[in-house]
Structure formats: structure tokens, C-alpha cells
Amino acid sequence: MTNRRLFLKQLGLGAVSLSMATDALAHYQPWRSGGLPRSRPGLQGVNPGGILDFLTTVETQKLNVHSLMVVRHGNVVAEGWWAPYAPDLKHTLYSLSKSFTSTAVGMAVAEGKLSVDDKVVSFFPNDLPATVSDNLAAMRVQDLLTMSTGHDKEPTGAMRANGNTNWPKVFLAHPVDHQPGTHFVYNSGATYMLSNIVQKLTGQTVLNYLTPRLFGPLGIEGADWEVDPAGVNTGGWGLRVRTEDIAKFGQLYLQKGAWKGKRLLPESWVADATQSHIMQPAGDKSRDSSDWLQGYGYQFWRCRHDAYRGDGAFGQYCIVMPDKDAVIAITSETANMPAVLNAVWEHILPALQSAGTSVARSLPEPMTQKLKSLALPLPVNNTATPTMQKISGKSFGIEPNSLNIDTASLTFGKDGCLFNFHDDQGDHRVLCGLNRWREGETTVSVLPLKLVNTPVLNETTVRVAGTGTWSDANTFLMTWRFIETAHYETVTCRFTDDGVSIRFENSLSIIGHAKDPRPVLQGRLPGTAH
């Protein structure tokens, strides 16, 4: 878990974008696709009170869950998004992406393009170190799938560092300390190598390879995936799809690879992928109380209660419960991933009654109303102060800083404000509602913690929802939620008679109780003395 947490820390800081929004609200068409059928929970043997208790628990514990979908007997019985998140929005999956990469490997195996017993070195003859160790020579595709490559420390950080553009070469040069297949170390670099192998064998990225084979049949539209400097999907992270897409993916596995009468994935692959091939070292921890110590399959985690899951950093979950004929999809940004799973086992699991049971007498209205009213808490204070009229529309000159921001301004209207700053790349803006969300599109990231040499998605704009409030007469607090990621940003502007200080804090610093490394910007109105 130490290596996994290190990777998540490195990757998470790299994936957050402090981005600026356009001044015009974007109009988004509702997402249209073939969805899963809907049903009342009682008709599928689900007690709605358990769902309601789950919602209450995650909110009481402030777990920052963004969406939930519960599928029983193939029917969606509960679904909800905490505003400003919404059903039409994609969401960063982090390491839940790994389960999709594994699926691509399974399809390639079914097409006869490779075997799980193939040696990894056979695919990269031009990237091998001068001396190939016995352990490296013995590493198989299956060892990549099961996180048992033999590495004592995973190589992902080294692959992404120091301007490296050839990630396979760095991976293959990393010491293989143990016999492959015998030692579990969470290894996102191994999943990247699987993605690279699929691309070598098919001539397509994993994303393009999966589109007609998986995404098309399941009705998953608009998926995108990060790439490495060579244009290979990162595999172990970086996929974005919608909450219902996660649920569909889980339902495919629950149905053992069949979808609407067609076989998309061999049943034998589903069985192999979701059983335990290797156990994680437990140390002094009890296996009975941890969902991270139940064994690992082909990029799937075994869970307590005879379930399995794909999961990603900060609480992205695709939980499959074969015994209950159920799938649960969750997106979030939580610092306490086990707490989300514990809430599932404590509340949702008991709500899934035995097959064929109807609990139609259990009234769903309280659950339904709660699901319709879900919203992340807004910092709500004053909507106006004398300072607002004093500074509205005036440009503050910013002292030299590492973000290269030289001017900033806030312009207030009837029910919103426009934050504008200028840096060496031009003008960038965020539109915020006053004590409510306003949605727009970001243009430029100014967060300096991004990982090098990893084009994210080559986007020029990213969706953002902004809100602002006066926390006191001279302090304006903005929250920017990057609603197709897991993350958000707070921006605090403190005004004096002729100056302003602007402090940024990203959500990873907040939940990690760490200091944001960016400088506090200091600015003054034109014509005032420093």
C-alpha cells in the first residue's frame, strides 16, 4: 500500500488542473446513449432505506462522494449526483482505468494476438537493457496483469521523470528484485506496459481498440484517455467515462462477458481476471477488515463479502457482487477510500434481499427525494459588501511571481462575478455564481505540480463550475470544481484599501493537510504606492 499511495500522490498532483473559465456559460446537450433499464428498488428486492442510509453516512462523514449508481438484476434502482456533478459529465477514473486495460488484453488474447504466458521482453527487443537479468527474462504478461512483476519498488515515478520519452525502456531497466509471480507490488507502470503491448500488436491505442469491441456495444460515448509522450494510452490511469458507463462495465463482468445476447469477452477470461492470483502482504494488519488484503486478479481487487472491484484514487469504484446480482458505481474525491467501501457493506449490502424477493412495501420516496436533491455543500455567506462596488472591474497589478501572473480583477454583476487574470499565456477567466454554481469552460492551467512529459488529453478547455461568497467584508472566497475530474480549487481574495492578496489552495492539499506550494499573489491598484 505504501508504493500505491506514493503513486497516487504523484499522479494525483499531476492530474489536477487549476484552470480558468471563459466568461460565457457553455450550453451542453444532455448526454444521449443507450442506458441501462430503470426500475423501482422494491421491485428488484432492494430496500430503499439502505440506500438512504448510505447517502446519509457519506455526507455525515464528509467523504465528498460525487455520484452513486446501484444496479440490481440488471436494472438501475438508485442513481444520484452531488451538484455540480451531473449524469452527462465524464469523471476521471484514476486506477479504475486499469480494469479497462485488462479487458483490452483479454480481448486481444481471445483474438489470438498474445498469451498471458508470453514474455514481456519479447515485445520490446529495441528497449532492453544491455544485460537482461534472469528475473526480467522470466517476466510474463500475466505478471504485469497481477502486479507481481518482481519489482521491489514500482518504476512508474522513474518512467515519468527527468524528461523521459521512452517509458518502456525505463521500465525494463528497473531492477527486478524478486522472481516474477511471487511478490505483489502495486505497479501502474506494469499496466502501462500492457497498454503498450496491445498497441504494438493491434496498431491501435487501447482506447481505439476498445471502442468497437467494448465502448460501442455498451453505449459508452465520448471516452478519452491520457497518453504518454509517444502517444500510447497510459493504461494504469487517465481514462474518463460517465458514472453509468462504470456501471455498464461492471454489469458486463457480472454477466460473465455477455451483453445483449452477444459475447464481448470470453467467460473464462472474466473468471480468471476476477479471481485472486496473488495476495498482498498483510504485515500486522488483519485481512478480515481490509478490502485491500483480499487478493488481486487481472487488474481487479478482490473484496470482502465475495465481491470484486476496479478502483481508482480518491474513491472511484466499480463494485461487482455476483452473489447479490448487483453492481455499484461510485465517483468521489475522498481521503478515506476504505470508509466509502465500509458504508457500502454496512448499508447497501444488507439492502440487497435474496433473489426473487420483493420489498415493494418499502416506500422509496425518501430515498428518491434525497437522490434528487444531492449537492455538495456551498460556502454561503454575504452576497454583497461595500468592498464589492469599490473593487469591481478594477485591475490589480500583481507583483512578480513564479506563476507569471501580472494582473488580476474581479467584476461583479447581479448574481455572479468574473475573475480574470493575465499571465504570459494571455487572459484567463472564471465565471462564478454568488452563493450558487455557474458552469463554464477553463482554458489554461496554472498549477505548477503537474507531472512532466505527460500530455493529459490535449484539451484547450476543461469544464468548471464556480461559486463565490464574501466570508467577511473584505474577503471573497471562490470555489472552482473541475467537474470532469475529481478535484476542486479554493481561491481567497483579501482586499485592503488599495491592494489584494490572492491565495490558491487545491483540494489535494486540503484533504492531505498540506501547504499548497504556490505563492500568495500580492497586488495593488494602479497609481498606488508599494
| Average pLDDT along the chain | 89
pLDDT for 97 beyond 70: yes
pLDDT computed for residue 341 by the predictor: 98
DSSP letters for 301-349: EE-GGG-EEEEETTTEEEEEEGGGTEEEEEEE--S-HHHHHHHIIIIIH
Average pLDDT over residues 161-177: 95
* SS3 of the chain: helix, strand, coil, percent, to 5: 30, 25, 45
Q: Where are the alpha helices (DSSP H) in 174-242?
A: 188-202, 206-210, 216-218
> Cα separation of 466 and 410, whole Å?
13
The answer as to whether 372 is a domain residue is no
The Cβ of residue 391 has, within 10 Å, a number of other Cβ atoms equal to 21
Q: pLDDT of 41-81, one tens digit each?
A: 999 999 999 999 999 999 999 999 999 999 999 999 999 99
* Of residues 337, 340, 356, 338, the one with CA closest to residue 348: 340
The answer as to whether 164 is a domain residue is yes
Domain's final residue, options 199, 218, 241: 241
Domain's final residue, options 209, 241, 273: 241
The Cβ of residue 230 has, within 10 Å, a number of other Cβ atoms equal to 11
In the chain, the amino acid numbered 206 is V
pLDDT for 11 beyond 70: no
Q: pLDDT of 323-335, one tens digit each?
A: 999 999 999 999 9
Domain count, the chain: 2
pLDDT computed for residue 319 by the predictor: 98
pLDDT computed for residue 381 by the predictor: 82
The answer as to whether 355 is a domain residue is no
* Of residues 322, 366, 319, the one with CA closest to residue 345: 319
CA distances from 326 to 177, 190, 269, 366 (A): 40, 30, 20, 22
pLDDT for 446 beyond 50: no
> Cα separation of 253 and 103, whole Å?
10
> Which residues on adjacent β-strands are paired with residue 475?
472, 494
pLDDT for 444 beyond 80: no
Domain's final residue, options 185, 207, 241: 241
C-alpha grid cell, residue 274? 476476477
What is the SS3 assignment for 191?
Answer: helix
The answer as to whether 78 is a domain residue is no
Q: Indicate the pLDDT class of residue 364, thresholds 50, 70 and 90.
A: confident
The answer as to whether 150 is a domain residue is yes
Q: Indicate the pLDDT class of residue 208, thresholds 50, 70 and 90.
A: very high
Strands 395-398 and 326-332: unpaired
> Cα separation of 438 and 442, whole Å?
12
The answer as to whether 307 is a domain residue is no
pLDDT computed for residue 527 by the predictor: 66
Looking at residue 402, which CATH number applies to its domain? Answer: 2.40.128.20
The answer as to whether 188 is a domain residue is yes
pLDDT for 468 beyond 50: yes
The answer as to whether 426 is a domain residue is yes
- Whole-structure pTM over 0.85, yes or no? yes
* 452: containing domain: 386-524
Looking at residue 150, which CATH number applies to its domain? Answer: 3.40.710.10
DSSP letters for 93-133: -GGGHHHHHHHHHHHHHHTTS--TTSBGGGG-TTS--SS--
